[in-house]
């Protein structure tokens, strides 16, 4: 009698454990199985609400807004086109040149926008899921995302001496030797001899950055400048100097750039 009750208890316990396990399994299964198209749907919705106007229905950058113009302090007017996602070439990556950006890169852009290019910040407008979703939706525009894997981000470690006068001097020499002035001009005003006939991969006229006019599109911090030198801006005339310059030289160049932008070495008034 007593033993019978004991058995029934064990059976009961066992069955409970089993059932819960099954349920758990089922639940997990369903979750994983529904995810993808849901996410894509969400991404599409967000995309059509926020991105479509500029980046176009099928992500080819041919939105209704079209070309965006901006007159800089020096009086030159530059034109910006919304990014074309179909080719899958991205400028602002943390990954080596030719690579795809990591999701973090894209997230960063969505969060902070792109300075001086009217790509607004969506930090507050969107929830994290929506951002993730829209990223994955964007990935559907180009095959590259199936074929390739994003490479690993390039490590950035800022040496203490960046911005020091000596470093600025060295950077100046680098600036001269690497012919940066051919596009960016002798005083970094973006008016170099080659600046006139610069085209990007889409065949659109582009303008070298004028260091005196304001912040970098990627955001002005020594790290960002360094990344730009290292990864280059794919699709533009700005190559990667990862191979042609030692890391130290790149940092020197950073200091000189900061100098050009008037962020270091300025006399206190």
Which residues of the chain form contacts with another protein (CB under 8 A)? 49-50, 52-54, 63-75, 77, 115-116, 118, 120, 213-214, 269
Our CB check for another protein shows the closer of 153 and 214 to be 214
Our CB check for another protein shows the closer of 1 and 67 to be 67
Our CB check for another protein shows the closer of 70 and 172 to be 70
Q: How far is the CB of 118 from another protein (least distance, A)?
A: 6
DSSP element (H, E) containing 86: none
Q: How far is the CB of 106 from another protein (least distance, A)?
A: 18
Q: How far is the CB of 195 from another protein (least distance, A)?
A: 16
Q: What is the 3-state composition of the chain as percent helix, strand, coil, each rounded to the nearest 5?
A: 45, 5, 50
CA 74 to CA 191: how far, in whole Å?
10
Q: How far is the CB of 199 from another protein (least distance, A)?
A: 20
The H-assigned helical ranges of the chain are 2-46, 52-55, 103-112, 128-139, 144-147, 165-177, 181-184, 222-231, 247-260
DSSP 202: T
Our CB check for another protein shows the closer of 72 and 200 to be 72
CA 90 to CA 200: how far, in whole Å?
12
Our CB check for another protein shows the closer of 112 and 144 to be 112
Our CB check for another protein shows the closer of 148 and 187 to be 187
Residue 132, SS3? helix
CA 61 to CA 132: how far, in whole Å?
20
Q: How far is the CB of 70 from another protein (least distance, A)?
A: 5
Q: How far is the CB of 261 from another protein (least distance, A)?
A: 14
Q: How far is the CB of 72 from another protein (least distance, A)?
A: 5
Our CB check for another protein shows the closer of 157 and 266 to be 266
C-beta separation of 227 from 154 below 8 A: yes
Q: Token pair for residue 131?
A: 């951002």
CA 78 to CA 68: how far, in whole Å?
8
Q: Token pair for residue 152?
A: 């690993």
């Amino acid at each position: 009698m007593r033993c019978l009750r004991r058995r029934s208890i064990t059976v009961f316990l066992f069955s409970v454990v089993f059932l819960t396990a099954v349920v758990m399994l089922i639940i997990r299964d369903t979750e994983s199985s529904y995810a993808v198209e849901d996410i894509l749907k969400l991404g599409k919705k967000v995309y059509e609400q926020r991105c479509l106007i500029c980046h176009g229905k099928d992500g080819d950058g041919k939105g209704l807004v079209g070309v965006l113009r901006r007159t800089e302090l020096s009086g030159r007017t530059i034109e910006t086109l919304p990014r074309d996602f179909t080719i899958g070439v991205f400028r602002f990556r943390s990954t080596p040149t030719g690579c795809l950006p990591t999701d973090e890169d894209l997230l960063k852009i969505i969060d902070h926008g792109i300075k001086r290019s009217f790509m607004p910040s969506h930090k507050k407008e969107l929830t994290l899921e929506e951002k993730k979703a829209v990223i994955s939706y964007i990935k559907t525009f180009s095959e590259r995302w199936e074929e390739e894997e994003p490479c690993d981000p390039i490590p950035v470690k800022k040496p203490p001496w960046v911005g020091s006068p000596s470093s600025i001097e060295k950077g100046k020499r680098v600036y001269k030797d690497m012919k940066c002035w051919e596009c960016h001009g002798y005083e970094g005003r973006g008016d170099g001899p080659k600046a006139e006939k610069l085209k990007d991969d889409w065949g659109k006229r582009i303008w070298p950055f004028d260091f005196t006019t304001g912040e970098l599109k990627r955001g002005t911090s020594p790290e960002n400048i360094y990344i730009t030198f290292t990864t280059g801006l794919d699709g533009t005339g700005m190559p990667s100097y990862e191979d042609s310059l030692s890391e130290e030289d790149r940092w020197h160049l950073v200091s000189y750039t900061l100098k050009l932008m008037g962020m270091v070495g300025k006399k206190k008034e």
